[in-house]
Amino acid sequence: MAPQYQIRADFDDRTVTVYQAYAPAVADAALRAGRFTAPFSFNRMTWIKPSLLWLMHRSNWARKPGQERVLAVRITREGWEEALAASALTTGDPAALAAAAVHVQWDPERSPRGAALNHYSIQVGVGRRLIRAFNDDWIVALTDLTPQVRKAADLVRSGRAAKIGRLLPPERPYPLPEALERRITP
């Protein structure tokens, strides 16, 4: 049985993949530039999620207005861990949260059909103080996952959710230094 709070992600020795859903104009501009650029807003928090299924739940399989395009954002592990080190839990001390450059929130992980599971998935809100570092220093690659998300959504809608495994990334437990794990776990 998986621990209740555990980061599960697609990662390698150097990078970790997080997911975001955007309006087509934001996604197209980012894919052309290889980084986020206008009309992406650098003046608000951006939420990154290492669980594709949780993002699919949140974006209604890329059908929610303003979230029609799904991007895989491969960032450096160094940047990912820098974000976690600068974080405060959204359920923690309000003063610490207000002062934090990054917000961490845990929500129930989701099945392909959207049912809440018995373990939690992390969402990381990168605030304005770190958003330029996220964009300029941490991003290694952007990939448009919208076509595979749409295929997976069609399988789920047609009652064949068990067949989407080949369309999902290989998410596995992400090894965190113990101090970071204590910082981000409720």
| Domain range enclosing 140 | 8-157
Asked whether residue 71 is assigned to any structural domain, the reply reads yes
Angle, CA of 73, 78 and 81, to the nearest 5°: 90
Contact between 19 and 55 (Cβ < 8 Å): yes
**pTM, two decimal places:** 0.96
Q: What is the pLDDT of residues 139-160, one digit of tens each?
A: 999 999 999 999 999 999 999 9
Quote the pLDDT of residue 56: 96
Q: What is the pLDDT of residues 120-130, one digit of tens each?
A: 999 999 999 99
Average pLDDT over residues 86-97: 96
Contact between 79 and 159 (Cβ < 8 Å): no
State how many domains the chain has. 1
**Cα–Cα distance between 139 and 134 in angstroms, integer?**
6
Asked whether residue 53 is assigned to any structural domain, the reply reads yes
Average pLDDT of the chain is 96
Contact between 102 and 124 (Cβ < 8 Å): yes
Asked whether residue 62 is assigned to any structural domain, the reply reads yes
Distance of CA 65 to the CA centre of its chain: 18
Quote the pLDDT of residue 3: 85
Which is it for strands 87-89 and 102-110: parallel, antiparallel or unpaired? Answer: parallel
pLDDT of 1 over the 70 cut:
no
Residues of the chain with pLDDT > 90: what percent? Answer: 98
